[in-house]
Amino acid sequence: MSDTLTDLGRRALLPAGLRDILPPNAGNEARLIEALMARLAAHGYERVKPPLIEFETSLLEGPGAVTSDRLFRLMDPMSQRMMGVRADMTVQVARIASTRLKNAGRPLRLCYAGEVLRTVASQLNPEREVVQVGAELIGSPTAEADAEIILVAVEALKAVGVGGLSLDLMVPTLVPAVLAGLAAPAEDIARLRAAVDRKDMAAVEELAGAARPVLTRLLEASGRKDAALAMLAGLDLPDEARAALDRLTQVTDRVAAVEPTLAITLDPVENRGFEYHTGIAFSLFARGVRGEMGRGGRYRPNGDETGTATGFTLYMERVLQALPSPTPRPRVYVPYGTSRDEAAALRAAGRATVQGLEPAVDPVAEARRLECSHVWLEGRAEPVDAEQGTRDTP
């Protein structure tokens, strides 16, 4: 390999988990983001744009605490304080709501879109820079708010063409509420909780003691909503656990009433990845796509003991995987000297124009070289032979 090619290779190399997004994918991603945001705006969610970097203490407050090991850190040369590159945007929106918009009427509906950066990739996603689109409903403790945030997420995904959606509903507070009533040493409770998290039925039966009937029934109840709710009905639960289970039932019924064809499953013992949630939590999946399309749930914004919020985050990498490759917009090569009015008329008709900047001996060959689907000749947009390497165009 020549020195020039070696140098080009070095300059093109990016850190692990980072990548360039090229045409037409970058444009398609931007279009989908705006389509999702438009759907959120239609439901009254107003857009905010927090900074990419802010003080570390702010990013680690409240729900941000779980991102501590994923946060890129750097020293601010002006304030000499440690800063962080956001690893999640939820905590930033919560900060805005509790500071800049603290006097705004509640419930407050906010939405956002932007990149986040993480020190490590997940098992399912090798990318460390990912794009999030999300919404937060702040200040309402109701089941209606829980249901709204789920339904808005589902509607937004459907609006951009994502099909085969399924919803997994969880109650991260349910098992802790059951375990809180057990009279057992802390280490035994910790072992039991770990067994529940692993869904290890044998270990739960061995360790649960008086809570065995309840915990084993909760483990067995994971599955499709109708069967799961039937198994959960009539369980003898402490008051706090009963309230959590009743909320799960209410939210499930509200979502199913609006989206009767949506596949809904319940997992009443799941907690991993939802440690900071204080109520109903959920994940969204799409048929044929590995991993979550998005997730969300109820939380306490920025550690506010009296506050409450619920929200969701969609992962654009998954959204793009769930959709077919974009159809390229027709590109028309407009030879040098063509009137501006003719080119403007083409753009008004929905075509992209590629203006010739100097006379071309063969306009058709020039159109092909610039990957145009058509060339403007004698007042008509003539197709260019697609077999010669041009972009496919309808």
For residues 223 and 234, what is the distance between their CA atoms, to the nearest angstrom? 18
Residue ranges in the chain whose pLDDT is less than 70: 1-9, 124, 303-305, 386-394
Q: For residue 65, what pLDDT is reported?
A: 85
**Cα atoms found within 13 Å of the Cα of residue 145, Cβ hemisphere only:** 22
Q: For residue 63, what pLDDT is reported?
A: 81
Cis peptide before 176 (omega within 30 of 0): no
| Strands (DSSP E) found in the chain | 46-47, 53-55, 72-75, 82-85, 108-117, 129-138, 165-170, 223-224, 263-267, 277-286, 294-299, 309-315, 331-334, 352-355, 374-377, 380-383
Percent over 90 (pLDDT), the chain: 81
Nearest to 334 by CA among 347, 323, 322: 347
Nearest to 169 by CA among 86, 328, 80, 277: 277
Tokens of 43: 């439901």
Q: For residue 328, what pLDDT is reported?
A: 84
- Tell me the whole-structure pTM to 2 decimals: 0.91
Dihedral of the alpha carbons of 21, 22, 24, 30, in degrees to the nearest 10: 40
Per-residue pLDDT of 109-140, as tens digits, reads 999 999 999 999 877 678 999 999 999 999 99
Label residues 175-189 b or e (16+ Cβ within 10 Å = b). bbbbbeeeebeeeeb
Nearest to 389 by CA among 331, 373, 23, 324: 373
Per-residue pLDDT of 84-117, as tens digits, reads 999 999 999 999 999 999 999 999 999 999 999 9
Q: Give kind and range of the element (H or E) at residue 191.
A: helix 186-197
